[in-house]
Amino acid sequence: MANIAVQRMQRELNEVAKFDESQKISVELVGSNLMHLRGRIAGPPDTPYEGGIFIIDIRIPETYPFNPPKMRFITKIWHPNISSVTGAICLDILKDQWAAAMTIRTVLLSLQALLAAAEPDDPQDAVVAKQYKENYDMFVLTARHWTSTYAYDADDSSRWVNLDFDTKIQNLCQLMGVDEQMARVALSSNNWDMNRATQSLL
């Protein structure tokens, strides 16, 4: 079975290598292991993820292509269907809707489409989904902030900056003695309300 998976992966990697760059997806080996890959997808235009590059860890099971690959986001992201903590993904084709005809490329394109069209009624991250449904404008600002923080190069001059968010993060770090990531999660989860974010860290 493992031989089938290896042959299939060699073919798929050749296809992705030839694939049109306009979709802004790519795949590379982690070391020399065909069963461990790293995918890259560009955030779709006209979304809070635009301009970001998101890295995805891809593990190929020995039973591939009869079973789906295991994927998770390495790049932190604020999205209803992706865990803001672990990067776990809620996408039907990675579970019970997988078909052997699908490829790593089609899954990466599906993930790109998921960034453009979230499914908040079938969430992986309930906190993000709640914000998406109840305070969409705040969700967009928060998702843009996470994208500019984690999915851009630090010296990229086109990075989006929200001075209000940055100030609140620094204040919460000093007040509660937590790191930036903990402060960002607390504020993001509480619609950037300092009092509620502080309470959540007590």
> Among all residues, which ones are annotated catalytic?
90
Q: How would you write 108-152 as a 3-class SS string? A: HHHHHHHHHCCCCCCCCCHHHHHHHHHCHHHHHHHHHHHHHHHCC
Is the bond preceding residue 48 a cis peptide, omega within 30 degrees? no
Could you tell me the strand order of the sheet in which 70-73 lies?
Answer: 25-30, 33-42, 53-59, 70-73
- How does DSSP classify residue 80? T
Q: Which residue in this structure is represented by tokens 């052997």?
A: 100
